[in-house]
Amino acid sequence: MSNNKILIFGLLFTIGFAAALFWPKSEVQDDYSSVTQLASDKIEVVMYKNPGCECCTKWAALMNQDQFEVIERPIPNIIEVKREKGVPPRFESCHTAMVGEYFVEGHVPIEDVNRLLKEKPEGAIGLSVPGMPVGSPGMEVPGRQADKFDVFLVKEDGTTEIFASY
């Protein structure tokens, strides 16, 4: 092989390797058409959160104790995920999780996520606990009484209804 061929091959390899390393990757997985059942018989939950948010990690740990396996994805601009998944601005919280085709916004109790997956309400796209109410899962504060909060069912037509109250 001549030196020119080796040089061209090396150059093409280097360009291909650099493209694979530095090509922009989408932070948001687009296919959530069904609930993913993992080999461990747990349901996969992908949770998008701001880097360093510990209350989100506490919520994930609680979910992991049930039938879920939460994969945490810290991202710098979580608002993009919320818009893409259809979370209405007034129902935003600190993290957005995807369970199959549904978003779970904020500190939604496990029993409500299980109920959503069991009932599959017509037109539903997700559940939300707006804000970060003290006493909601992952937001427990020792010595402080839990706030009252509602879990909202969000539908694809933009309507919402109370799914549960605490």
Q: Which of 144, 149, 120 is nearest to 133 (CA)?
A: 149
For residues 59 and 95, give the distance between their C-alpha atoms in angstroms, rounded to a whole number.
10
Note whether residue 108 is domain-resident. yes
Note whether residue 112 is domain-resident. yes
SS3 at position 55: helix
What pLDDT score was predicted for residue 1? 64
Note whether residue 14 is domain-resident. no
Note whether residue 85 is domain-resident. yes
Note whether residue 2 is domain-resident. no
Q: How many residues does the chain have?
A: 166
What pLDDT score was predicted for residue 105? 97
Q: In whole angstroms, how large is the CA radius of gyration of the chain?
A: 21
**pTM, full prediction:** 0.74
Note whether residue 15 is domain-resident. no
What pLDDT score was predicted for residue 30? 41
Q: Which of 148, 108, 147 is nearest to 127 (CA)?
A: 108
Predicted confidence pLDDT, tens digits, the chain (166 residues): 676 655 555 544 445 544 444 444 444 444 333 445 555 789 999 999 999 889 889 999 999 999 999 999 999 999 999 999 999 999 999 999 999 999 999 999 999 999 999 999 999 999 999 999 999 999 999 999 999 999 999 999 999 999 999 9
SS3 at position 93: coil
- Structural domain range at position 92: 26-165
Residue spans of beta strands (DSSP E) within 59-114: 68-74, 95-99, 102-105
Q: How many structural domains comprise the chain?
A: 1
Note whether residue 69 is domain-resident. yes
Q: Which of 162, 164, 138 is nearest to 60 (CA)?
A: 138
DSSP result, 10-46: HHHHHHHHHHHHHS---SS----SSPPBPTTS-EEEE
What pLDDT score was predicted for residue 9? 52
